[in-house]
Structure 1
Amino acid sequence: MDGQAGRPEDGPDSARPRLGAAELGAEPGERASLVQFSSAFCQPCRATRRILAEVAAMVDGVAHIEIDAEERLDLVRALGIEKTPTVLVLDSAGRIVRRAAGMPRKVDVIAALGAAV
């Protein structure tokens, strides 16, 4: 979750969209959520799924939520998702605190999660 794609979302907290169970289709984590947008034939999505699941298992109160981008085009468009995998790190209130496109490194996911909890 490095480079420009890994920067904190622009704007004050009140201006950032909040994603909850209704939008995500799953219950968010108590402390933070790792939201992954994937597609069926995406090789890097499989590796990303494994990395995010490992990190979520390491930290209490963190959920890994995978969303099929093709099934949720409404959410993809609303959030400006342009490729898969794209990972969003949400804080406990459901605000996006980091985002990155492409397969992340585990160490970068852990660092980004630190900004959310």
Structure 2
Amino acid sequence: MDERLGAAEIGSRLGERATLVQFSTAFCAPCRATRRVLGEVAGMVDGVTHVELDAESHLDLVRRLNVVRTPTVLVLDADGRIVRRASGAPRKADVIAALGVATS
């Protein structure tokens, strides 16, 4: 998977080291927990940004990336390349481990 996302596509600047992109929907309970976990990790790790996208407002991106459920989290490296992808509410340790791949 050598798909890349840029600031124009996600509506925010990429993190210096990595970006956590979260696809959510309004009535998704696990999305709230995911928002909290990703926000905490982004606050702990320098150069990491968390961007949450409403899946319904970004259907072109959802289709292009084959996002079939929310939450779906993409880990982008500093160049916007997708290095990890997961569906469902992630554990903080798993997010930190995925960032290790993105920033190495």
Q: 1:18 Cα deviation (Å)?
A: 1.3
What's the C-alpha RMSD, in Å, of the aligned pairs?
0.6
Amino acid at match of 1:66: E
Matched residues in 2 for 1:88 and 1:18: separation?
Answer: 11
Matched, 1:109 2:61: no
TM-score normalized by the length of structure 1 = 0.86
**Residue identity (%):** 71
Partner SS state of residue 57, structure 2: coil
Q: 2: distance between equivalents of 1:72 and 1:83?
A: 13
Q: Distance in 1 between matches of 2:89 and 2:30?
A: 6
- Matched residue SS, 2:56: coil
The aligned residue for residue 56 of structure 2 is 70
Q: Look up the match of 1:96.
A: 82
The answer to whether residue 83 in structure 2 is matched with residue 83 in structure 1 is: no
Q: Which residue of 2 aligns with 1:25?
A: 11
Amino acid corresponding to residue 98 of structure 1 in structure 2: R
Does structure 1 residue 46 correspond to structure 2 residue 35? no
TM-score, normalization: structure 2?
0.97
Q: Which residue of 2 aligns with 1:5?
A: none
Instruction: Tell me the distance in 2 between the aligned counterparts of 1:116 and 1:54.
Output: 17
Aligned pair count?
103
Paired residue secondary structure (2:46)? coil
Counterpart in the other structure of 1:55: 41
Note the residue ranges of structure 2 that are not aligned, 5 or more in a row: none
**Cα distance, 1:17 vs structure 2:** 1.9
Instruction: Give SS of 1:72's match.
Output: helix
Q: Deviations over 1:96-115 (max 9, x none)?
A: 00000000000000000110
